[in-house]
Chains A and B, each alone.
Chain A
């Protein structure tokens, strides 16, 4: 099956810093999603990005499908950005396969 690897596993930042999270996947996919899991466990949809680049406020994401990776950029980080960020992929109509996540801690 498809393997999903996320890096780094942990990231500690000061408020205002920028960061880049990476997701590598082992096979071609039809769907790639980035999620932020809040302290209560809710998975918040950040991006649905099988290819290309998208931006939403301080967050942006780029997926290069031909090279099988995706990047999530967080600029001017805030304490509320803390939590676990997951990348998940699937092929058409199948289950999402998640990476192990990147745990981000932003301190003021």
Chain B
């Protein structure tokens, strides 16, 4: 049973560029959440997708957007990258609309130069 997968593993971008990160949830899960983890901090919630709609959003600007596909996989898009967007981006999946235990992928480490 495959766990949560994310791609790419690492990414280097320049300020002002756009980036797309991808996540495939654990088999049987229908809810995907995205988190940003800066160095030395705990993960911070970006948004959650369920039934292809954004259900909840954290305190992140509109430059952060996402999408969930019919197969429950998800994308995180960040426009107009800033140096401060450099972080580990984590995807988590859960079942039953997010009611139960969440499982995390290995993350994508984004560096903005």
Contact = CB atoms under 8 A, between A and B. Distances in A.
Interface of A: 30-31, 33, 35, 40-43, 45, 48, 86, 88, 92-101
Given A43-B90, A86-B42, A101-B42, A95 B97 contact: no
Given A86-B42, A100-B41, A101-B42, A93 B99 contact: yes
22 contacts: A31-B100, A35-B104, A40-B106, A41-B37, A41-B88, A41-B90, A41-B106, A45-B101, A86-B42, A92-B99, A93-B31, A93-B50, A93-B99, A94-B56, A95-B45, A96-B33, A96-B35, A96-B45, A96-B102, A97-B45, A98-B44, A100-B41
Interface of B: 31, 33, 35, 37, 41-45, 48, 50, 55-56, 58, 88, 90, 92, 97-104, 106-107, 109
B109 A41 contact: yes
B44 to A, nearest CB: 8
Nearest to A86: B42
Q: Is the interface of A mostly helix, strand, loop or mixed?
A: loop
B88 to A, nearest CB: 5
Contacts of A43: 43, 90, 104
Contacts of A45: 101, 103-104
